[in-house]
Amino acid sequence: MAQIGTFTRDENGNLAGTIKTLALSVKASIRPSSKDNEKAPDYRVHVGQVEIGAAWSKTSREDRDYLSVKLDDPSLPAPIYATLVEGERGEFALIWSR
């Protein structure tokens, strides 16, 4: 597992930070999304005005909240799946998993 991003939360519940992979090095935001059905994402991931992913709220077996994130971009050979977890100091780490 590798950390591919770092985010901080603002007073409105939005997350802002960076995503860095071999193909991407961008400033991104993760903003709450209105759900129109049960399977719709809870958040949308944006780079500027372009949506590059979505995230769903989950709870781990240890009762910790996290976001399950799917990123996709034409520069990527396949979608990236990652987990956004909160650290001890309030920062959030985007952890890539295969």
Q: Distance between CA 98 and CA 84 in Å, rounded?
A: 14
- 43-66: pLDDT as tens digits: 999 999 999 999 999 999 999 999
On the question of pLDDT at 13 being above 90, the answer is no
Residue 18: burial class (beta carbons within 10 Å; 0-12, 13-18, 19+): middle
- 28-37: pLDDT as tens digits: 999 999 888 9
Q: What pLDDT does residue 4 have?
A: 95
Cα 7 from chain centroid (whole Å)? 9
Domain residue extents for the chain: 2-97
Q: What pLDDT does residue 95 have?
A: 97
Q: What pLDDT does residue 88 have?
A: 85
pLDDT band, residue 97 (cuts 50/70/90)? confident
Q: What angle do CA 73, 74, 79 make, to 5 degrees?
A: 50
**This prediction's pTM:** 0.91
